[in-house]
Structure formats: C-alpha cells, structure tokens
C-alpha cells in the first residue's frame, strides 16, 4: 500500500492551494475538485493550471452536486475540505456522499481555526463556530473516520497590523492593547498548517482526534508582540489599554461583518480560547509533538540508495510488527529519453506514467512547464516486486513505430551512502530482469510485429 490518494475541496482558496501543493510535495496522488466558474477568475485559473502542471488531477464538481462528489470520492482514500466559513454547512452533502461511498479512511472537515467545542463566544459569533460544531457532530454521528485541525489564527490574519483591527500595517506611534495584554494567542502560517495536515492523514494517532497546532514559538500575548515590534523599529509606542467592557461595546455598535475582527480578538486575547485548556488532558493531540522535520524529509524527499541498493522506507506505526509493514510498492524517478521535442509536454508525461504505475510528480521548471531537453522526468509508484518496464513503442503512423527507453534513478543524493569502491553515479537503465538493450527489443519486435495495446501509444504534439 502506497501513499494515500487525497481529494482536496477548495483548492482555489489560500489554504486549499497550500494543502494541494503540500500533498504533491509529500508525493501523495492528489485530486482537486473545482467548479466550472473557477476558470473565469484569473487568479483561480492560474492556481488550477499550476496544480495540474505539478501533477494534480483536476476534477470538476461542487458541494451542491452529489453525483460529482461521489465520482471524485470513489477515486481517493482521504478527503480534505478547505472551503470558507460561509460554506461550512454545504459540507452536509459531502458527508452524505462519503458515507455512501464507504471507501474514505480519513475525512478532514473545514474547521482550521479555534476548536468550536472550546470557543467561549458561541452567543456572539454569528454562527461562525456553531456551524462548524454542527458539522463535526454530524461526522461523528455518521461514524466517518476523521481528523480535525485546530490551528487558531492564520499568520496572515491580524499579525500584519500588529493586532490592530482598524489598521492595515503595524503602528508607528501608538498601539491598542485589549484587556491586560497578557492572554496569549496562537498564529500559524498557512503553509505550516498544510504541512501538519498532510502529515496527519496517514497517522493513526490522529484518527478521530482534534490535532491542535500550538508551536511554542508561535504563541504570544499582545504585550509580547508589541515589545518585539518596538525592538525592531527602535522606538517605544504609546500604549492604550482597552478594557473588556469597551471592546464588547464596540462589538455591539459596529455592524456585522465589520465587527468580526474584534470578536476574534475578544475570543483569543480576552477569553483565552486558544490556550486556556491543556491539549492532552482534553483528549486532543499536540501536533508539534508528532512532527519530526527530519523524519518527514527522509520519508518524503527520497528516493534513497545505499551502496547501489534501493532503500525502501515506511514510517513505523506503534503496535505493528515489522513483518506486518507493507512494502509492496516503491517509488522511482524515471526518465523518458529521445522523445521528439514537440511531444515533450505535461499531457504526454501523464499518459506515459500510466504505463509505469501511479504518478506522484512531474519534474517541472520554475515556470511550471517541462524544460525541453534530453528527457521527460517523473516520479512514479510501482509494484516493488514486479518487473519494471524497459520502454515503450510510440505510434508514428504512417511512419514506423519507434521504441523509447525508460531509465530510472531510485534514490535521493542527500542520503546516498559512499560505496566501498568508487562507482559512477550515472543512471542505470532498468530492463526488467534481462540485460537486453532497446536495439535487441526492436530486433524482436521486427520479427513479431503484433503488439498489445499496452505496448503502443498515441501522443499529442505541441509546438515548442
């Protein structure tokens, strides 16, 4: 069993896009559900093209279309929803589809904020948290395996203004401190939230749990934040302390939704909703205790080679015996050599990968396209004990078919051990279990011109 196949809903949003990019980076087969209307928005369209070029499978659908949801869900193992707060209740049809499909081993609903079960402002949040709590109760009632991500504030929210709700940039002269300024809030970058989330999908310790993200270096009071800013600008600010009663008065006077920033401020820095409870004693899981950056790098950044031998790695799961670990698949970087330049495009790379195994990633340049050079390069997951294909025939009708070699490199240089004897680091051509060359194959093919459908390909040509 290889990496979980992940469906992400809401990929054109900020967090959803980070989730999809991180899923691809961690070598998960990644599927992105999007609405037809997304292509009419230049920014959303650009995000979809970027994800497609990086190897994601784009699927048309919406939370209002049950048929499209079922079709998408049946292709994956994990569903992550990252829609906006106003769409939270739209997840009801998604939950119904997940229940019908019966194939999802983990669902991550769209919470990604303060735990709604812990929020102490349910009477003033305009259903912001109550709707999220309603969705979680529905997931629990349906018996769907889940993980909830509680990341509190995104780093892009309030921090750019130094938690001054009426400003867009940090103050230079005076700053308002709400309450006594000592209650602490938590801020996490969206990219880090995505990394924690993708790392959790296959972790049994997070099953049917709330994963709380509370990194020690991301927990600050208002007094501490202002002190850091003062140190940076080399100047003391005038501090205006606004008591709880005045903050509540402004929340009532300022119309919705313009008062929401102050409501979130009240939740975090007056009521202490980010930090007033102990994570483990409340039955949650501390994400920072699960994360090991070196471990994630080794598992997700391979492939690794020790003295010329391919090294297969799996993360150990507590309670599992070594012989019960699944090593039936592994991944390789494969090069496809000698393709005509106008055939070197992403569509053809995806088609070629289907004959090798499960596509994880296509090697792209900084512009999100394939560099026109000697070969196409892609990362694929294959059966570990099955013969590797040595190449493919390309249909060039009316011209004779042409044979092209696959060459494979199965390791990453970071963990490549120095061999006892100096050996060349050149790529080794993988020819199943034989030493036959492509010329040998062509000789055999000329004697037996009949080919199976899997041996012959039709490609689309593009102008370089």
Segment-wise mean pLDDT, segments of 10 residues, the chain, 464 residues = 89 96 90 95 91 92 97 98 96 98 98 96 91 97 98 95 95 97 96 93 95 95 96 96 97 96 97 96 90 64 71 69 77 81 82 78 75 81 77 75 70 38 31 35 39 40 40
Q: Which residue has the tokens 């070598």?
A: 27
Report how many domains make up the chain.
Answer: 1
- Other CB atoms within a 10 A radius of the CB of residue 435 amount to 8
Q: How many whole angstroms separate alpha carbon 16 and alpha carbon 197?
A: 11
Q: Is residue 30 part of a domain?
A: no
Residue 346 lies in a domain: yes
Distance set, CA 343 to CA 97, 134, 395, 422, 455 (Å): 39, 51, 12, 37, 18
CB atoms within 10 A of CB 383: 13
Residue 361 belongs to some domain of the structure? yes
148-172 burial code (b ≥16 CB/10 A, e <16): bbbbbbbbeebbebbbbbeeeebbe
Distance from C-alpha of 458 to C-alpha of 464, rounded to nearest angstrom: 18
- Going by C-alpha positions, the residue among 95, 79, 15 that lies closest to residue 47 is 15
E strand spans, 218-320: 219-221, 238-242, 285-286, 304-306, 309-311
Q: Specify if 138 maps to a domain.
A: no
Q: How far is Cα 122 from Cα 130, in angstroms, rounded to an integer?
A: 7
Q: Which residue has the tokens 């193992």?
A: 77
Cis (ω within 30 of 0) for the bond into 257? Answer: yes
The answer to whether position 391 is within a domain reads yes
Identify the pLDDT of residue 407.
73
The residue written with tokens 């039709």 in the block is 458
In this prediction, residue 12 carries a pLDDT of: 96
Query: Does 132 participate in catalysis according to the annotation?
Result: yes
Instruction: Kindly state whether residue 452 falls inside one of the protein's structural domains.
Output: no
Q: Which of 3, 44, 132, 379 is catalytic?
A: 132
Question: In terms of residue numbers, what domain contains 346?
Answer: 329-438
In 3-state terms, what secondary structure has residue 191? helix
Tell me, yes or no, whether 373 lies in a domain: yes
Whether 232 is in a domain gets the answer no
């Amino acid at each position: 069993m290889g990496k979980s196949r992940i469906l992400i809903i809401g990929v054109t949003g900020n967090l959803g896009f980070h989730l999809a990019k991180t899923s691809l980076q961690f070598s998960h087969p990644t599927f992105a559900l999007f609405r037809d209307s997304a292509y009419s928005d230049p920014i959303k369209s650009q995000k979809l093209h970027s994800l497609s070029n990086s190897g994601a499978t784009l699927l048309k659908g919406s939370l209002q279309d049950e048929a499209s949801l079922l079709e998408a869900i049946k292709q994956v193992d994990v569903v992550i929803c990252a829609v906006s707060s106003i769409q939270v209740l739209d997840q009801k049809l998604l939950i119904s589809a997940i229940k019908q499909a019966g194939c999802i081993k983990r669902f991550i609903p769209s919470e990604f904020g303060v735990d709604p079960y812990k929020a102490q402002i349910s009477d003033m949040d305009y259903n912001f948290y109550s709707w999220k709590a309603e969705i979680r109760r529905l997931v629990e009632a349906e018996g769907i395996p889940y993980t909830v991500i509680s990341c509190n504030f995104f780093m892009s929210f309030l921090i750019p203004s130094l938690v001054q709700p009426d400003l867009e940039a940090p103050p230079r002269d005076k700053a308002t401190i709400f309450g006594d300024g000592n209650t602490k809030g938590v801020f996490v970058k969206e990219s880090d939230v995505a990394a924690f989330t993708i790392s959790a999908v296959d972790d049994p310790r997070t099953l049917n749990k709330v994963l709380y993200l509370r990194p020690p270096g991301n927990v600050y009071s208002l007094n501490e934040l202002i002190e850091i800013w003062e140190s940076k600008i080399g100047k003391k600010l005038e501090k205006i302390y606004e008591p709880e009663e005045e903050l509540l008065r402004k929340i009532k006077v300022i119309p919705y939704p313009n008062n929401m920033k102050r409501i979130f401020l009240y939740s975090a820095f007056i009521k202490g909703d980010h930090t007033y409870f102990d994570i483990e004693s409340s039955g949650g899981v501390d994400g920072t205790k699960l994360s090991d950056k070196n471990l994630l790098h080794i598992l997700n950044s391979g492939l690794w080679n020790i003295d010329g031998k391919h090294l297969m790695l799996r993360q150990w799961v507590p309670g599992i015996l070594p012989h019960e670990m699944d090593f039936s698949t592994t991944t390789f970087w494969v090069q496809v050599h000698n393709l005509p330049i106008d055939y070197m495009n992403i569509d053809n790379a995806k088609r070629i990968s289907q004959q090798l195994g499960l596509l994880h990633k296509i090697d792209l340049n900084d512009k999100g396209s394939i560099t026109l050079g000697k070969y196409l390069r892609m990362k694929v997951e294959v059966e570990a004990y099955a013969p590797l294909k040595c190449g493919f025939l390309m249909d060039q009708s009316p011209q004779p078919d042409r044979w092209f070699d696959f060459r494979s490199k199965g390791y990453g240089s970071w963990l490549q051990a120095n061999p006892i004897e100096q050996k060349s680091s050149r790529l080794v051509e993988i020819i199943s279990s034989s030493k036959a060359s492509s010329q040998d194959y062509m000789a055999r093919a000329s004697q037996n011109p009949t080919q199976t459908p899997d041996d012959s390909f039709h490609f689309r040509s593009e102008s370089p």
